[in-house]
Amino acid sequence: MAVRQGQRVYLTQNAHARTRRSATYRADGPLEWKGFAVRRMSNLAKLLIVGGLAVVIFGGGGFLTYRLFFRKPDGGRAGGNQAVITPTPDPGIQMLDQAKQQLASGSRPEAERILLSLIQSFPDSTKSADAKQLLGDLNIRAFFSPEPSPDKTEYVVERGDSIAKIASKTKSPAELIFKANGLDSLVIQPGQRLIIPKGQFSLLIETKRQGVTLLNNGSFFRWYKPVEVRLPPKIALGQFKTREKIAWSNGARVAFGEKKYLGSSRWIVVTDNGITLYSETNPQTPNVEKPNNGIMLGPNDMEELFALVTKDTPIIVK
């Protein structure tokens, strides 16, 4: 009985051992199974790494391609820490519109006031040139109109008068009398009434802005846009006077009253400065060779300025 009992105990211990081995087998699995799991996890990790690299490489390239070739530039956003620059509004645009509205409503003095304010306060406005042209047109039409004004006198032609004699009597340029009265001939009749306008004119020549401005009593009167500007490298700045007025026809000087005077090319020579204001009425067949240095104006502008400017008219060059 003792031996049998011992055997039963031994067998029971072996059964327990087998049970433990079976449990160990179920928990850990055989060696081949563990190797397969490790290989599977390794392949999965590789796939994840390769996929990540593809996203970085091709995704980054795609984003760069989009930024370079497809995305529209955003002008309102600044890159980095750069400040966003907002364009400054041009007040001249609104002021010019207001002046035109005043003219349309018949309020010319208010329109002139607005235009003059634009010219003086905002010389760099994109509408400054338009304002100068418009105000100059208003001034010149009023100056040459037959309407009475404090700066005009009326002269009644007497027997024996001529334009030159009347110019001497009234101390006005003969060209001014001729133009102000719209004459197309030097022949005048006794009893004919002529308008003699007067002005205290001076010229402002701006070398940097390349413009010629006519002033009347020190205020803006008319602006002339140059056709061509040829100035010496070093130019004297300051106050000067016109040295002479010259009319050219076929290479020769002509005086007012001569037949060839009409259609002649005009020069206004500035004293001691090497600047000449000039025009050419016949560009294809010039009346005279251009001066070495000067500012060329259109024929109509030069004809008008030639009538308004006299010898010794003050000129400021700056």
Are 183 and 225 part of one and the same domain? Answer: no
The first and second tokens of residue 9, run together, are 């105990």
Residues in contact with 245: Cβ distance below 8 Å, sequence separation at least 6, in sequence order: 266, 267, 268, 269, 306, 309, 310, 311
Look at residue 60 and tell me if it is in a domain.
no
CB of 288 closer than 8 Å to CB of 271:
no
Look at residue 134 and tell me if it is in a domain.
yes
3-state DSSP assignment of residue 305: helix
End of a domain among 136, 171, 198?
Answer: 198
Are 139 and 156 part of one and the same domain? Answer: no
Residues in contact with 242: Cβ distance below 8 Å, sequence separation at least 6, in sequence order: 203, 268, 269, 270, 271, 309, 310, 311, 312, 313, 315
Q: Are strands 265-270 and 252-254 parallel, antiparallel or unpaired?
A: unpaired
Rounded to the nearest 10°, the torsion over CA 90, 95, 96, 99 is: 180
Backbone φ and ψ of 239, nearest 5°: -105, 135
Tens digit of pLDDT for each residue in 130-166? 999 999 999 999 999 988 888 899 999 999 999 999 9
Only one residue has tokens 């490298």, namely 233
Residue type, 216: N
**Which of these ranges, 40-49, 110-119, 224-233, 252-261, has the smallest mean pLDDT?**
40-49
Look at residue 258 and tell me if it is in a domain.
yes
Determine the Cα–Cα distance for residues 128 and 92; give it in Å rounded to an integer.
7
Confidence of residue 11 (pLDDT cuts 50, 70, 90): very low
- Per-residue model confidence (pLDDT) at position 106: 94
**Residue 93 confidence (pLDDT) above 90:** yes
User: What is the percentage of the chain residues whose pLDDT exceeds 70?
Assistant: 72
Look at residue 7 and tell me if it is in a domain.
no
User: What is the percentage of the chain residues whose pLDDT exceeds 90?
Assistant: 50
**Residue 226 confidence (pLDDT) above 50:** yes
- Per-residue model confidence (pLDDT) at position 45: 58
Tens digit of pLDDT for each residue in 121-139? 999 999 999 999 999 999 9
Are 133 and 219 part of one and the same domain? Answer: no
Full 3-state SS string of 254-285: ECCCCHHHCCCEEEEEECCCCCEEECCCCCCC
Determine the Cα–Cα distance for residues 82 and 76; give it in Å rounded to an integer.
12
Are 308 and 209 part of one and the same domain? Answer: yes
**Residue 3 confidence (pLDDT) above 70:** no
What is the average pLDDT value for the chain, to the nearest integer? 80
**Residue 205 confidence (pLDDT) above 80:** yes
- Per-residue model confidence (pLDDT) at position 155: 95
- Per-residue model confidence (pLDDT) at position 98: 96
Look at residue 27 and tell me if it is in a domain.
no
Are 303 and 209 part of one and the same domain? Answer: yes
Tens digit of pLDDT for each residue in 264-301? 999 999 866 578 999 988 777 888 888 888 899 999 99
User: What are the beta bridge partners of residue 270?
Assistant: 242
Look up the domain containing 265 and give its range. Answer: 201-317
Cα–Cα distance list, 184 to 51, 178, 239, 259 (Å): 93, 8, 36, 12
What's the rounded mean pLDDT across residues 164-170? 93
Q: How many domains does the chain have?
A: 3
Are 170 and 205 part of one and the same domain? Answer: no
End of a domain among 144, 178, 213?
Answer: 144
Pick from 76, 289, 51, 311: nearest CA to 173:
311
Look at residue 86 and tell me if it is in a domain.
no
Buried/exposed 18-50: b ≥16 CB within 10 Å, e otherwise: eeeeeeeeeeeeeeeeeeeeeeeeeeeeeeeee
- Per-residue model confidence (pLDDT) at position 12: 43
Are 186 and 133 part of one and the same domain? Answer: no
- Per-residue model confidence (pLDDT) at position 88: 79
Are 271 and 211 part of one and the same domain? Answer: yes
- Per-residue model confidence (pLDDT) at position 72: 52
Are 172 and 188 part of one and the same domain? Answer: yes
Q: Are strands 294-296 and 276-278 parallel, antiparallel or unpaired?
A: parallel
Are 126 and 175 part of one and the same domain? Answer: no
The first and second tokens of residue 186, run together, are 């030097």
Buried/exposed 300-312: b ≥16 CB within 10 Å, e otherwise: ebbbbbbbbbbee
Determine the Cα–Cα distance for residues 17 and 44; give it in Å rounded to an integer.
38
Confidence of residue 84 (pLDDT cuts 50, 70, 90): low
**Which of these ranges, 1-10, 32-41, 112-121, has the smallest mean pLDDT?**
1-10
Tens digit of pLDDT for each residue in 57-71? 555 544 544 454 445
Look at residue 30 and tell me if it is in a domain.
no
Confidence of residue 23 (pLDDT cuts 50, 70, 90): very low
Confidence of residue 46 (pLDDT cuts 50, 70, 90): low
Are 172 and 193 part of one and the same domain? Answer: yes
Look at residue 20 and tell me if it is in a domain.
no
- Which CATH number covers residue 187? 3.10.350.10
**Residue 224 confidence (pLDDT) above 50:** yes
Are 311 and 290 part of one and the same domain? Answer: yes
- Which CATH number covers residue 215? 2.40.440.10
